[in-house]
Structure 1
Amino acid sequence: MEPLSAVLRGMRLKGSIYAAWELRAPWGMDLPEGPFASFHLVERGRCVLRTASELIHLEAGELVVLFDGQAHQLLSSREAPAVSLAQLIARHPRVDGAHQVPGAGEPIRLVCGKFAAEGAQGSRMLRGLPRVVHLGRTKLAALPALRALLESLAHEAASSAPGADTAAARITEALFIQVLRALLLDTERTPPGWLAGLSEPRLAEALQHLHLDPARSWSVGALAERVGMSRTRFALLFQQRVGQTPSAFRKALNSYPA
């Protein structure tokens, strides 16, 4: 099994859609913090995403993922008032595949969803990914498989065809993998964590061993020997890329529920 698949096998990932939206400015929604990763696809139009620390402008065809589950806002402009997601859904029931919010301003179409992972292992691995990932049009232009998934997701999210909700959920799970692939292609901007470790072939092999057999008493020396490195060099590289020692990482794996 290749390393990314070996790591993902233990996550028990579940994708779902909050809602497809058709809105006209001015509008704004507050999205709560939670034990999941939120994502937003701008199908048409443009908007602003605000977190506690940054403001991101989103254009048509772009995707943003908040892997740390932080609370955030989506707004037609930075001055727009916001209401809670629950209130917005209650006030504007789904019609023709989307929740429609009337207004006199610029229109936008959004698909909002989340990636959730069962158990402590999955939650910890989500938090081990970059906090916010913004895939703009230039980046997506080089990722045809990801673009195709986004188009399929937008179609199914707004569809009333039999099985559309299940199809959209399955697409979100494939979308998660494609986003990780995109991050692996951009290692310079990927912070320390298990995904950054996978970008280095020898560390990827070690991480694969750890995830496939976490109960084994892997020593630093044994892992280093498996991947053909000196103990000192392996321990240093693991700390730099993954952000913790091999022993701490193995201990965390064994703390996950079965």
Structure 2
Amino acid sequence: MDPLEDVLTLIGATGHLSTGMVAGGRWGLRFNPLDGVKFNAVRRGRCVLTVDGLPDPIPLAAGDCFLLTRPVPFGLASAADVPLEPADPVFARARDGVARVGTADEVTLLGGRFSFRHRARALLLDGLPPVIHVPAETVEADAVHWAIDRIDGEVRRRQVGATLVAEHLAVVMLIQVLRFHLSAAAAPATGWLAGLTDPVVGPALRAMHADPAQRWTVESLAEAATVSRSTLAARFRRVIGKGPLDYLTGWRVELAADRLRRDDGTLATIARDVGYGSESALSVAFKRVTGDSPSGYRSAVHSD
């Protein structure tokens, strides 16, 4: 697995489809914040997206899609100056999986949301902008709409297992949107996601994720990245915000925390599997990163 696959697997990204929407004429809807991450794809027509906290509206055209990574209110409308009515009553009146607003059928949207398990915001979402807008002319938009086409088909045909297939296709869509973000000119120059595409940091990250239990040193990670120790250490700290071994400690603790949440193995087994020679070594690292002991963390999770 590469680091992005590791994180998406660890946080358990799951796609959930929502009611489709058809709109036309002069219309506007205001949506309440949703847990997780919201996505929409414009299948037909044009509209405008406004997001609380962002100064400018985002024009959307057929083939565009967007991802909202923060639980904030947002609006969709025929134009930026149209008053917004609450979306919940409109969607409560939906029939055959479609909500209708306005006086015509000029705009069609299909969307949903992604839910995640523990630690998604710290591991992934905090490193993303509030909105990722994927224009129709990008390669990633083609891939997103390939997934959307099949999601739409699964929902319409209602065959056995259609919901599960559609949810997996939605995760494919999420990966394509993240790929677009990483390749975009406006992608951040710093942060964990930026490190994935950095020519020096990326190889070191992939090496650590491929074998987190390995006895990595800065020297061996520098060899994986084919640079000097000082170059790797300086570049890693500039891009990621911490040294390579500090990052490795954090990732090992995340893996251990996941095992503890799933009650998968004894503390000694978990410590060995994530790269620590003893329970006490894992406990020291775990306490330093999370502020809690492994046993206290496991008890707290299973008492919820």
TM-score (norm 2): 0.71
Once the two structures are superposed, residues 146-201 of structure 1 have per-residue CA deviations (whole angstroms, 9 ceiling, x without a partner) of 332232234344x1523433332121111111222223333x32112322211124
Distance 1:48 1:255, change over 3 A: farther
CA distance in structure 1 between the aligned counterparts of 2:241 and 2:48, rounded to whole angstroms: 32
Q: Where in structure 2 are the equivalents of 1:50-89 lying within 5 Å?
A: 50-51=50-51, 52-53=53-54, 54-89=56-91
1:130 counterpart residue number: 129
Q: CA deviation at 1:238?
A: 1.9
**Are 1:203 and 2:196 counterparts?**
no
Distance 1:212 1:86, change over 3 A: farther
User: Aligned residues, how many?
Assistant: 252
Q: Where in structure 2 are the equivalents of 1:36-51 lying within 5 Å?
A: 36-51=36-51
Q: What's the % identity of the aligned pairs? A: 29
Distance 1:216 1:87, change over 3 A: farther
Structure 1 or 2: more helix by fraction: 2
- Which structure has more relative contact order (CA 8 Å, sep 6+)? It is 1
Between structure 1 and structure 2, the one with the greater Rg is 2
Unaligned runs of 5+ in 1: none
The equivalent position to 1:190 in structure 2, one of 177, 187, 211, is 187
1:99 counterpart residue number: 99
Output the aligned Cα RMSD: 2.8
2:284 counterpart residue number: none
Unaligned runs of 5+ in 2: 259-304
TM-score (norm 1): 0.82
Once the two structures are superposed, residues 54-80 of structure 1 have per-residue CA deviations (whole angstroms, 9 ceiling, x without a partner) of 310001111111223433211222222
Distance 1:252 1:123, change over 3 A: same
Structure 1 or 2: more strand by fraction: 1
**SS at 1:70's partner residue?**
coil
CA distance in structure 2 between the aligned counterparts of 1:73 and 1:251, rounded to whole angstroms: 41
**SS at 1:61's partner residue?**
coil
2:169 counterpart residue number: 171
Distance 1:249 1:85, change over 3 A: farther
2:16 counterpart residue number: 16
Distance 1:121 1:98, change over 3 A: closer
